[in-house]
Every structure is written in structure tokens, then in C-alpha cells.
Structure 1
């Protein structure tokens, strides 16, 4: 599985929109290093993240917050992901709220799922693809 990731010079800054460092993820070690910083899986004009600046992405990123229930037996887990997507490669990256309470919800598994896709060069097509997933 291969995809491009862009990283920031910071970690945990909600207002950050600058992702100047391009990296090619081709294994778990590269991914683990990249996600130590704030990151996105799309290229943007002038490295500035915004819908209007979208250039391309070869990865679809989905959030799994497990906020659909407070019952841990109903959480989406790595095993459940394998059941849902048995023939599709993906990467799981813990979110910054992993195993922490979030809003009115108790601590839960919270992660990002990254699916490698053929490059998408339209923000509309990217959004449509995310909807399908």
C-alpha cells in the first residue's frame, strides 16, 4: 500500500492549515513517523489546506469516532474493520482523542482509516468518493 502524506511543523494546533512536507508512505515505519506531526493526505496549493486549494489526493481518510454508541461491545474495532473491508488494504492511525472522552461520549477507540486510491484531482470527486465509503 502506498500513498502520499503531507505533514506540518506542529502537533495539535487546531488552527493550523500549513502542510509543507510531502512524504511517500510505503510502510508502517514511514507512516508512524509522519503521523507524529499534524498531517493530511492531500496536496494543496501553496501547502495551505482549504477546499479551494485542493490539488490532488491518492488516499481517502475517514474518521471513526465510535460516537454512535456508548456501548464498547458495539464499537468499530480493528477486527470489525477487517470484517467490513476483507479485501481492501487500509491503515489505521489513532486520533488525538483515542481512548479519551469526547464531548458527551466516554473514552473510546477513535482512529483514522486511510484507504489508498487512484489519484483524485477534483475536490468534488474526492468528497463524492468519501460519501461512498
Structure 2
């Protein structure tokens, strides 16, 4: 794998041209300045055969991408901000840039924060698996745009991307594996939470707690208690910001199909069993014991009778 904090992009020679499929210029990005210069032109985060963008020509990528458009969020207080995104993915090398429609109306949608997000990922050479990871990201983080999950995704160039580059120590694959492990194991960690992933670890705890207990004082108290494990401790302003981010995220989760509210999730449900099927009502096909050797046949018949 290349350097965890090194991103590979391919740049086109045009700006905001969706019909273009040629991305001939390879650009290595290690900081925000390099990204801002590259992103002035249309760009992709995958390598394609003969530099021609399509699913069929996909050769590989170790950069995942997504959009945050705040498309269904009408209240500005509930917008997912750059800070919210960073808190969520702290520990993973990622770049957050403003899209061409940042704080502008988009079609019939009002002005809102709109971002492109790029994460360092494990190298993937199969376009279906690459797209599947995008889908996995969306399932965990419903603030991502579900219309931007294909493997041949391109990004419009913009004059002022205003990107911020966040270094990290784990790929987005490792992050999602850790998240899945936490979801599968409802027992919360007793270990101290060290600097470098405090925000994202506490954020994930807050979301799990909200899903289980709702927006309640009990949930907030559990969050405060968990934050005491941080080394060093986070200040009150930072904790309030994390809790606010978790509330925004939780509100989006509540809108997802299949969501189970805490009051239903925490109420024991009586199991209703169907009546058992009596053995004597089941007609089994005959077993061809006559085909067995004479020394084995009596043994098989005896075992069948006793069991």
C-alpha cells in the first residue's frame, strides 16, 4: 500500500463536463494545497484503463469518495457541517472539499453546505467490490448522498474547493470493520480512549447510545461517563459539539426505513410459537434396507426402531 496520507487522483483537461470520460493526468495529493490545485479541473479517484472512465475500464483505487449535500435537511441547525464530518471520521486520512454548489441553490433545493469527501482505503481492483464499499458507507452514514455510489463517479472541478486535509492512521475499511465490531458487540469498551481517535470513538458511542436510549438524560449521562475515559480529557465545548453532531446523525437514522425506536427496541416481546408438527403426521419415504448387506441390515433396522 502507498503512504496512508497520500491520495492518487486523475485529472481531466476540462471543467464541469459530465460527458467527458478522459482523465489522463495523474496527480499525487499529500496536502490541501495540492488538492485545491488539482480540483480546479474535473477529477476522479480511481485508475481506469487508457484513462477512460467507466465501470468496465476500472483498474483500481485506494481512495473512496462520497458526497454530503444536506439535500433533505431544511433546518440550518441540522446541517451536517465540515466539523461534523471530521468528527465522524477522525483517525482515517480524509479530505473534505466544497462542491461547486456549496451554499448555493441546487435545482429546486435551497442553498446548503455541500461537500465532497475522500477517504484513504485499501486497494480494490474490482469495480463491484469498490461500489459495494460505497454502499456500506452509506448504510452506516445516511448523510451521504445515495445517488453517488457508483465506481465510475467523477467530480466537477471548481474554482475554490477550499479543501481541508486531515491525516490519519487507518483506512476507511479498517474504520468500518471496527464500527461493525462495535455494533455487533453491545458491550462498550472499558479501555481508555487515547488522543488521535477520541472524537470519532466518543461520537460512535454517542450514536449507539442514542439509538438504544433515545435523546434522553440517561443517554446524555452515559455519554458523559464514557467521555471520562478520554486521555487527555476533552473540554466541555468539544463534548457539546460531539453530542450535537451525534444528535444530527441520530435524527437522520430515525428517518431510515426499518428504524426501531428505543421504546420498542427495549420492550421485551413475547415469542409466539407455531404449533409443533406431530411426527406421526409426517409421511417419510421408505428406506431401501433391502439394498443393504445382510449383516448390516438388522443393525440399521434396530437403530431406526430405537431412535
* Larger strand share, 1 or 2: 1
Comparing 71-80 with 81-90, which one deviates more in the overlay? 81-90
Comparing 77-86 with 63-72, which one deviates more in the overlay? 77-86
Question: How far apart are the structure 1 equivalents of 2:40 and 2:86?
Answer: 25
Question: How far apart are the structure 2 equivalents of 1:17 and 1:71?
Answer: 37
Question: How far apart are the structure 2 equivalents of 1:79 and 1:116?
Answer: 18
Runs of 4+ in 1 over 3 A off after TM superposition: none
For 1:31, which of 29, 35, 39 is the aligned residue?
A: 35
Question: How far apart are the structure 2 equivalents of 1:28 and 1:82?
Answer: 15
For 2:123, which of 119, 127, 131 is the aligned residue?
A: 119
Query: Are 2:94 and 2:117, in contact at CA under 8 Å, matched by a contact in 1?
Result: yes
1:99 aligns with 103
Query: Are 2:92 and 2:120, in contact at CA under 8 Å, matched by a contact in 1?
Result: no
For the pair shown, the structure with the greater C-alpha radius of gyration is 2
Deviation, structure 1 residue 107 = 0.7
Question: How far apart are the structure 1 equivalents of 2:26 and 2:16?
Answer: 19
For 1:8, which of 3, 6, 12 is the aligned residue?
A: 12
2:77 aligns with 73
Question: How far apart are the structure 1 equivalents of 2:21 and 2:78?
Answer: 34
For 1:83, which of 83, 87, 93 is the aligned residue?
A: 87
* Larger helix share, 1 or 2: 2
Aligned residues: 133
1:40 aligns with 44
Question: How far apart are the structure 2 equivalents of 1:54 and 1:106?
Answer: 35
Q: Please, what TM-score do these two structures have when normalized by structure 1?
A: 0.94
2:178 aligns with none
Query: Are 1:70 and 1:105, in contact at CA under 8 Å, matched by a contact in 2?
Result: no
For 1:53, which of 52, 57, 64 is the aligned residue?
A: 57
Question: How far apart are the structure 2 equivalents of 1:118 and 1:86?
Answer: 17
What SS does structure 1 have at the residue aligned with 2:111?
Answer: coil
For 1:21, which of 22, 25, 32 is the aligned residue?
A: 25
CA RMSD, aligned part only?
1.1
Q: Please, what TM-score do these two structures have when normalized by structure 2?
A: 0.42
2:136 aligns with 132
